[in-house]
A and B are shown apart, each in its own frame.
Chain A
Amino acid sequence: MKPQWVYLLLMLLIAISACDVTDVDGSALNVTFSLPTSDMTSSANPPRYAVIWMGNSVWKVTADGPIPSGATQVNIPIQLPPRHLLEKVQPAETLTYAYYYFPEAPMRRPRIVVYDDTNLNQQFDLLTDQILALDGFGQDYYATIMAFLDLDQFLSSLSIEETQVYYDWTFNKYSKVMFGVADPDWSDFVMPLFEGSSETEIAHVQPVLELQAGNPLLMEKDILCFRHVEEAHDSIYEQIWVDDTLDVEFICSDTTVPCDGFDASIAPDFEAMAAQSQVFSSSCGWGNPLYQPFGASMGTVTCNGCHCEYTHHVITYYLNASALPEWIPCGGQTLSSSLK
């Protein structure tokens, strides 16, 4: 069976096995997350958060709620799925709790998403709603929430002195622990620190965790592929268009990139470009008395299963500095970008 068929089958299984959000066990752990506010503004609808537990054939949302308008942080309740469902939350990852001196142990980690509730049904639909931010996206090492599959099994792998350190870091809590904050109501979660943390960082751990923004498709894939998206090197295609009123031949002679003249009085259809790409940005370059460069970049992400490729189409316009067209934003603004 080809990998893409396996992937499609996986998606189908996930889509048909979504569960409601009320069926959970144990006490919740409230964790504060900071939001990437600049990327929230592109949300067409009021953004919402969701806590997702992924499995090969199941996914479970244990919390879903609105994010207050203008909020820069949000408190999100983290809670284990029901025990019978927890068994299906896979893959169990082998991770290192807190510091690399500890042995690795099987853990499960939820995904924390901020999403645009595209279908306005007030619950997260993985393949429908647009993801705006995600925990741990694009970062190799970061603090995250994790749950031991078997805390006793982990403790049995520790020496007596390692056990002492474990409890030092968890405020002498067995099972009800999260590093950095002593909260007896917290349940089976711990927050590990990434390999390479200095002792200072461990001693002054930041209790507010970050959510990262990124390409929506890649964030979706990051969830579906259990944080293991293979990203290929970027493919870049360039094109230069030179205002007909400038010396096209002279400017084009200085580059190997495809280069030609165009009528600058007719605005390029940037909306169409943005519609065709998943990441669109434009920016004004440093000009000179003769011409003003203006660049438009269209990024496209295509994925085959968990293997994704970036394709960038970069168009650079050289415009007559003495007669800038109205459609060019250069002058008061030197950089603009938008995230689709």
Chain B
Amino acid sequence: MKTHIFALLLTAICLSTTAMGNDIYEDARDPWTLMDQGLLNRQLHEQIRSPEQQFRLGKSLKSFAVAADGATGGQQSLPGTEYDQTRFHGYFILDTYSALRLFESMDINVNLNFINPSFCDGYHQSFQLLGGMSVHLHKTVRLFDKPLRLDALIMDLDLVTIGEGLLIEQIPLEGFSFSATWNHVSLSAHIAARVFWNYDDFLAIPLSFFDGRLTFLAAFWYFTEPAGDTESNAFDVFRASNKVQEHFPYIGISAHQNFGEHLHIAAEYLARIKDRQMSNGVLLRSDIKARIYSRVALHLGYQFRFYEQHFAPSHELSEVTTSPALPERENMYATNSFEYFAISPWFHQLSHTVMTEVHMDITRQFQLFYELEYWVRWVTNNSNNPRVLYVSGYQKAPGIWHDIFYHAGLRYRLFRNAPHRASIFISNKWIASDTESTTPMPIRYIRDPLFGFELEVFL
């Protein structure tokens, strides 16, 4: 079936002559935040030729495009405190993107990320090279005298958000994505593997109207627990009787609307339907983004989330993990479906989050910035004999969890006509990483108050 769809797409692409537009396919970057949003591993030509990316050195290479974001710095403990530095305590990162456009309808995209998280480990000891490749087939053909845009993206999906983010939000994934858009209506299929667990697969089929502002979604989360292995994990033995491959269907609707350039409202409802029982999830989001007195950029955001017990695709408590662990993922909100799924089999979760970011230009080169996220969660269940558990050793469920994340500091822009910059800041949201950045991590952020410094270049 997948082969037939792919062949159909290829045939349509080959018959067409119409060029594609400039918008980025399935762009999961959050436009309603002031936090840095990096490049995506597709449509690099369109990304770096946009007005705000004119400093890119590789923007004029015709069929070839190249860009790189480099950063070096450290994440260190504050003097006199008990906290440890992070894995990225003295790092160098060179995140490179290249794209080769063939036949005006086919891009070969390569993202190579050169990482050394620690200069303390020994000469070249910690070096890692993370690589991702994608083939993006894109074409617009005419159908009933209206353009029909076709996309097929294979392997590196980069950041993925499904709907408004109730289910999956800004999670880097690999898989396949297909889409056909005609007359403001779009039908897509996104297939991803290893989303939150080692043995899960995910299929989403969104049908969108009004250029994606209204979407009906059907999704299937396939979940398979591995066979018991006493040597690798004795706990699996006790779950041997529960080893089944299951799929968890979701259906729902999402919508978003921008009111001018400054106000954005979004909502999403999904229901997991399993064993004739529904578990509901709701996301409401509102954002205000504005520039005040030309020197101050401001974002105010609010999110409401409700995940009814059993909303996640698992019958039992199961650690949710994600990778890679890279500092760029600090530029996302802590409020994310990732944080709700692990304990979903036992608890209802309702949360409010208020987030704000302010960037204030003191001079043309100095900028003060702060990002603040206050997140409160009510974790409850209906049982008369509630099972108590702890998340990260201190968040007791059932209970009310309060979290405040901050990130504030000073940036210095090295050149007036280029974004290269040096920053120093304090924060309590640091990427949690094992020795290898590719190790799936059950927590995304270390919440210790530390300070960081960073020199960034954008090529």
Contact = CB atoms under 8 A, between A and B. Distances in A.
Given A173-B385, A174-B385, A160 B391 contact: yes
Interface stretch (A16-24, A115-123, A164-172, A247-255): A164-172
Most buried by A among B230, B343, B387, B391: B387
Contacts of B387: 167, 172, 174
B390 A164 contact: no
B382 to A, nearest CB: 14
B393 A156 contact: yes
Interface stretch (B70-78, B129-137, B316-324, B365-373): B316-324
Given A99-B234, A101-B234, A199-B237, A160 B389 contact: yes
Interface in B330-355: 342-343
Interface string A141-164: 000000000011001111111111
B386 interface: yes
Given A152-B396, A174-B387, A160 B234 contact: no
Contacts of A101: 234-235
B277 to A, nearest CB: 19
Contacts of B389: 155, 158, 160, 163
Interface string A191-213: 00000000100110000000000
B293 interface: no
B394 interface: yes
Contacts of A88: none
B235 A165 contact: yes
B230 A164 contact: no
Interface string A71-101: 0000000000000000000000000000101
Contacts of B394: 156
A176 interface: yes
B259 interface: no
Interface string B375-405: 0000000000111111101101000000000
B319 A159 contact: yes
B235 to A, nearest CB: 5
B163 interface: no
A163 B317 contact: yes
Contacts of A173: 385
B313 interface: no
Interface residues on A, range: 20 to 34
B385 A164 contact: no
Nearest to B391: A160
A161 to B, nearest CB: 5
A152 B385 contact: no
Contact of B238 (A172, A184, A199): A199
A184 B238 CA distance: 22
A199 B319 contact: no
A79 to B, nearest CB: 20
Contacts of B319: 159-161
A162 B396 contact: no
B442 interface: yes
Given A157-B393, A160-B317, A165 B238 contact: yes
Given A155-B390, A174-B388, A202-B238, 10 more contacts: A101-B234, A155-B388, A156-B390, A160-B389, A160-B391, A164-B318, A167-B387, A173-B385, A184-B385, A199-B230
11 contacts: A152-B390, A155-B390, A156-B396, A160-B343, A162-B235, A164-B317, A165-B235, A168-B239, A174-B388, A199-B237, A203-B238
Q: Which 8 pairs of residues, A with B, have the shortest CB-CB distance?
A: A164-B317, A156-B390, A163-B389, A199-B237, A160-B317, A165-B235, A174-B388, A156-B393
Interface of A: 99, 101, 151-152, 155-165, 167-169, 172-174, 176, 184, 199, 202-203
